[in-house]
Amino acid sequence: MASVKLTNVKKIYGKDTVAVQEFNLDIADKEFIVFVGPSGCGKSTTLRMIAGLEDISEGTVEIDGVVVNDLQPRDRNIAMVFQNYALYPHLTVFENMAFSLRLKNVPNEIVYEKVTKAAEILGITEYLTRKPRALSGDQRQRVAIGRAMVRDSKVFLMDEPLSNLDAKLRNQMRAEIILLRQKIDTTFIYVTHDQTEAMTLGDRIVIMKDGFIQQVGTPTEVFDMPLNLFVAEFIGAPKMNTFKTKLVCEGDKYYVNPYGAKIEVTGKKAEMLKGKRIGSREVILGVRPEHFVLSSSDNPEAIPCKIVVNEMMGSELHLHVVEDNGDKLIVRIPTVSLSDEQRASLVYGSTIYVTFEGKVMHFFDPETQANLLV
Amino acid sequence: MKKQNDNKIRKTGLGARASRRISNTIIYIVLIIITIVWLFPFVGILLESFKTETNMQTPYLFPKEFGFDHYVKLFTKTDFLKWFGNTAIMGVATAVLQTIFILSMSYVLSRLRFKGRKALMNMMLILGMFPGFLTMILIYKVFADAHLIEEMAPLGLIIVYCASSAMGYYVSKGFFDTIPKSLDEAARVDGATRFQVFYKVIMPLSKPIVIYTILMGFMAPWGDFVLASYLIHENSQGMNVAVGMYEWLSRTNMNTHYTMFCAAGVIVAIPVVAVFLALQKYYVEGVTGGAVKG
């Protein structure tokens, strides 16, 4: 167990390809932190710098107060789980898990004890004599996790460990990682491109783009108060709807006018706008798909639009709709809230009216894309 | 109309089958001829070695009388055993050293990134295109000064075979390139040094290419004549089998030693064939594994 501190970490490949820059982060002891972002954002590179598999171009990485920049991976007391499992194909599951202990010449009895204990926790005891090629994807990933577990290392690094699994197994393993975390109680740094994994696993999430940290916060913080448009669109599925509109300040009330509708900003958001003394201006308005509700043509707050795709997800409907101007929106409606007639009417080409409440809006600056309320 | 079409299809089918049969027959005839032409020298040498005559002018292929006289004479009346021993020692030493050099070089070029890596690879590729004997005069001069000729020539030859062997890194580098780098990384995080990664993880996964490299190294000295004869002169104690046996084919010796030459050829083939047969399964895997995936 250990804290990890990254100070002004930068990674440059070749002469001028910058992969990570200005990376500053304090990871507390026993914290589960998730690096998330699209491909090429520098999340895996940062993890690999912590592991010692990539040189650090600038800045420092500290583990438990010790600068580890020049230490070899083996001297950092870390464990790592790789996306493609990286199991040694010529060794049995037992020997794969015992590999690090054998290198340290740990006595056989202790090796046996540690490996069997980890195998028991992970439910792979019956596979200990098999070679990795005789295992399924999730079993292999369990072995990879087991190999990291037996080391009792200070920091547990995981580089997209679930990406190679199918959707069902991914959900199952995700839940198991949450349980595992309770059992081994160490510092975790987890890399993923999947925002659902990030939201469900992390104590805090680090959202990255183009080598820069965009926001660091708890899942609730990044979901409710994204610092910028990128974070707002990246976190949440389906992604947040955004459209340019005008924020109108009339007396002490605020309105927005998306597509001709007039919707009043209410609740905490209205208080914050007042507090920040924001006047009438152009904004990018963000509304999450689940915050839309079906309405009717006589509602002045309703936006008329046409259904182009209807995705039945079981518990909810994802309606891809096109507004009169051609803007596309995604509306998420719980199926339980719909009558049979309503469900039957939500088909390709039909016109529906949608609106949203004034307290669920997000406002971004069209130029800087920063959240106006932060 | 339909019937006509059916007939047409049936005829076309029959025609296709017949023409395939004819083309297969021609292909097999050609292959059989090529096989006979290819096998003839080997079978010929084997049969000649059992003849009791000594010259090569016998007008028949199968011996009229089978005998092992030449084999006995080889080991009792000539220095063949010495030459065979010299070559075997060279073969084993070259196999061991070459394998170490080639695999180390290939692993480094496959895994490490350092300044001048590409330039080094290109340079070795270009240097490898020059015929080896261009350097013979210089090698002779250096080795003569170092007393590595004549009786000591086998040691000199081992040095020559091994010194430039790392330039033949392509096949094994291609093989190493197919082993995921994350295995190296996992092992390094697990606590292994670079060398431990090499021999505990990469080597066990590279059996085919290790076997291939050993085979290549072991076989090289058995057929080397040009450089070997240059360094050995006529010192019988330092000869390898190729140089030693060549003497028997000179105009004066031809009629008295030809069939013994054949017997020696058969004996020389034994260790090479034995090693090859024992390791052939891995050898094929090694050649194709490296070439196709790399």
pLDDT, tens only, A223-233: 999 999 999 99
A83-136 confidence digits (pLDDT tens):
888 999 999 999 999 999 999 999 999 999 999 999 998 889 999 999 999 998
Given a cut of 70, is residue B293 above it in pLDDT? no
Distance CA A44, CA B30 (A): 58
**Strand, helix or coil for residue B185:** helix
In chain A, which stretches have pLDDT less than 50?
Answer: none
Chain B nearest CA to A82, separation (Å): 7
CB within 8 Å of A195: residues ≥ 6 apart: A36, A234, A235, A236, A237
pLDDT at B24: 95
pLDDT at B10: 65
Q: Which among A78, A86, A151 is the nearest to B182, CB-wise?
A: A86
Chain A nearest CA to B275, separation (Å): 25
Name the region of A366 (left: φ>0; alpha: ψ -120 to 50; beta: rest). Answer: alpha
| Average of per-residue pLDDT across B228-251 | 86
A29-49 confidence digits (pLDDT tens):
999 999 999 999 999 999 999
Distance CA B79, CA A258 (A): 102
**ipTM score of complex:** 0.86
Q: Note whether A80 contacts B189, CB cutoff 8 Å.
A: yes
B81-125 confidence digits (pLDDT tens):
999 999 999 999 999 999 999 999 999 999 998 999 999 999 998
Chain B nearest CA to A45, separation (Å): 14
Given a cut of 50, is residue B289 above it in pLDDT? no
Given a cut of 60, is residue B290 above it in pLDDT? no
Q: Is B190 on the interface with A (CB under 8 A)?
A: yes
Q: How far is CA A219 from CA A123, A133, A180, A197, B148, in A?
A: 30, 37, 20, 11, 75
Given a cut of 80, is residue B5 above it in pLDDT? no
Domains of chain A: 4-233 (3.40.50.300), 234-364 (2.40.50.140)
Neighbours of A17 (CB within 10 A): 9
HSE-up (13 A, CA, CB side) for residue A147: 34
Q: Which among B180, B190, B205 is the nearest to A99, CB-wise?
A: B190
Phi, psi (degrees; rounded to nearest 5) at B115 = -60, 135
Q: Which of B181, B189, B203, B205 to mutate to test the interface with A (most CBs of A within 10 A)?
A: B189
Q: pLDDT band at B281, cuts 50/70/90? A: confident
Chain A nearest CA to B104, separation (Å): 20
CB burial of residue A181 (10 Å; 0-12, 13-18, 19+): middle
**Quick one: three-class SS letters along chain A?**
CCCEEEEEEEEEECCCEEEEEEEEEEECCCCEEEEECCCCCCHHHHHHHHHCCCCCCEEEEEECCEECCCCCHHHCCEEEECCCCCCCCCCCHHHHHHHHHHHCCCCHHHHHHHHHHHHHHHCCHHHCCCCHHHCCHHHHHHHHHHHHHCCCCCEEEEECCCCCCCHHHHHHHHHHHHHHHHHHCCEEEEEECCHHHHHHHCCEEEEEECCEEEEEECHHHHHHCCCEHHHHHHCCCCCCEEEEEEEEEECCEEEECHHHCCEECCHHHHHHHHHCCCCCEEEEEEECHHHEEEECCCCCCCEEEEEEEEEECCCEEEEEEEECCCCEEEEEEEHHHCCHHHHHHCCCCCEEEEEECHHHCEEECCCCCEECCC
Q: Is B182 on the interface with A (CB under 8 A)?
A: yes
Neighbours of B35 (CB within 10 A): 10
Q: What is the pTM of this model?
A: 0.82
Q: pLDDT band at B292, cuts 50/70/90? A: very low
A88: which chain B residues are within 8 Å (Cβ-Cβ)?
A: 183, 186-187, 201
User: Tokens at residue A356, please?
Assistant: 């949203």
B200: which chain A residues are within 8 Å (Cβ-Cβ)?
A: 103
pLDDT at B285: 60
Q: Note whether A88 contacts B192, CB cutoff 8 Å.
A: no
A86: which chain B residues are within 8 Å (Cβ-Cβ)?
A: 180, 182-183, 185-186
Q: Residue A363 forms beta bridges with which residues? A: A285
**At A370, which amino acid appears?**
A
CB within 8 Å of B213: residues ≥ 6 apart: B98, B99, B102, B103, B172, B286
Q: Is B181 on the interface with A (CB under 8 A)?
A: no
A100: which chain B residues are within 8 Å (Cβ-Cβ)?
A: 190-191
Q: pLDDT band at B291, cuts 50/70/90? A: very low
Strands A58-63 and A66-67: antiparallel
pLDDT at B7: 66
- Nearest to residue A78, comparing CAs of A185, A151, A162? A151
Distance CA B117, CA B109 (A): 7
Given a cut of 60, is residue B288 above it in pLDDT? no
Q: Note whether B188 contacts A147, CB cutoff 8 Å.
A: no
Q: pLDDT band at B3, cuts 50/70/90? A: low
Q: Note whether B196 contacts A80, CB cutoff 8 Å.
A: no
B192: which chain A residues are within 8 Å (Cβ-Cβ)?
A: 74, 103
CA terminus-to-terminus distance, chain A: 34
Q: Which among A74, A82, A83 is the nearest to B191, CB-wise?
A: A74
Q: Note whether B190 contacts A100, CB cutoff 8 Å.
A: yes
Task: Please report, rounded to a whole number, the percentage of residues in chain B having pLDDT higher than 90.
Answer: 41
Q: Is A154 on the interface with B (CB under 8 A)?
A: no
Q: pLDDT band at B283, cuts 50/70/90? A: low
pLDDT at B13: 65
Domains of chain B: 73-293 (1.10.3720.10)
CB burial of residue A166 (10 Å; 0-12, 13-18, 19+): exposed
Distance CA A330, CA A121 (A): 42
Q: Residue A211 forms beta bridges with which residues? A: none
Chain A nearest CA to B207, separation (Å): 11
pLDDT at B77: 87
Distance CA B51, CA A279 (A): 113
Q: Note whether B188 contacts A104, CB cutoff 8 Å.
A: no
The interface residues of chain A toward chain B in range 94-133, judged by CB-CB distance below 8 A, are 99-100, 103-104
Owner of token pair 């898990």: A97
Chain A nearest CA to B114, separation (Å): 12
